[in-house]
Amino acid sequence: MIVAIDGPTASGKGTIAKAIAAHYGLPHLDTGLLYRAVGRQVALNGGNPDDPDHALAAAAFAESLLDDPELRSEATGALASRVSVHPAVRAALLARQQAFAGQPGGAVLDGRDIATVIAPEAEAKLFVTASVAARALRRWAEMQGRGEAVTRADIEADLAARDERDRTRTAAPLRQAEGAALLDTSALPIEAAIAAAIALVEQQL
Ligand code: C5P
C-alpha cells in the first residue's frame, strides 16, 4: 500500500506522514529533504539556485548531507523551493522517490507532487493544508522553541512567497490531485489532525 501525502510547508503533513507510517508499520520518505539537500549543496558549491546547471550539479549531493541539521533551516527551505522549479532537478530525484514508493510492503511519502507525479497509483492520497496564518504561527512557535529570533510577519511573508512559487511553477506544481482527500488542519490540534488523516486513509482503502 502506498500513501501519498502532499501539501504546503507547515501544514502538518510531515508529522501526519510519520504518524501514518507508524500506524501501518510502513517506511516513510520526507521528499522535501531531498530538495533541501540540493538547495544546501548549491550553497556549499557557491552556486546560484536559479541557474538550472548549478542546481542540477547539486542534485549529486553526498548521502551524508541528508543528516546535516542545517537542512531544516528556513534559509535552506527557501533554497529548496528555488532549486525545485528546475525540471532537470526534479527528474534527477524521480527514480529514488519511485524506488522508495515501489518497496514490496508499501510506503508513505510526503511532498508536493507525490499523488500527481511520483505515485499517482497510490491507494490513499491526502492533501493536507492550513491557512497561512495558522502555518506561520506553528513555524514561529517552533523557531521560538529553538531560540531563533524572527517575527511572525517575516515568516508569513516567506511562507506566502514559497506557496506562490510551489503553486505556479510549470514543473509539478503543488495541487490537490484528483481523488485526493482534503484535510485542513488550521483549527486542529496535531492529535486530532492525525486521527482525521488516518480516518481519511481508511476510507480510501
Ligand atoms: O516540505 P519542505 O518544506 O521540506 O520542502 C522544501 C521545498 O522543496 C518546497 O518548498 C518545495 O519547493 C520543494 N519540494 C518539491 N517537491 C517535493 C517536496 C519538496 O518541490 N516533493
pTM listed for this prediction: 0.95
Read off the pLDDT of residues 53-66 as tens digits, 9 standing for 90 and up.
999 999 999 999 99
Cell 505556479 maps to which residue? 168
For position 14, what pLDDT does the model report?
Answer: 96
Ligand 1 and 49: CB distance under 6 A: no
- Tens-digit pLDDT profile for residues 179-205: 999 999 999 999 999 999 999 999 999
pLDDT higher than 90, residue 135? yes
Q: Known binder of ligand: residue 7? A: yes
- pLDDT of 26 > 90? The answer is yes
Residue 76 and residue 39 in contact, taking contact as beta carbons nearer than 8 Å: yes
- 49 among the known binding-site residues? no
Contact at 8 Å (CB) between 37 and 63?
A: no
Of 13, 18, 81, the residue with max ligand 1 atoms within 8 A of its CB, to mutate for a pocket test, comes to 81
Ligand 1 atom nearest to CA at 84: 20
Ordered by start, the domain boundaries in the chain are: 2-204
Looking at residue 98, its pLDDT comes to 98
Task: Please determine, for residue 73, whether its predicted confidence score (pLDDT) is greater than 90.
Answer: no
> Hey, whose CA ends up nearest to atom 14 of ligand 1?
32
Q: Which atom of ligand 1 is nearest to the CA of 8?
A: 1
CATH homologous superfamily of 2-204 equals: P-loop containing nucleotide triphosphate hydrolases (3.40.50.300)
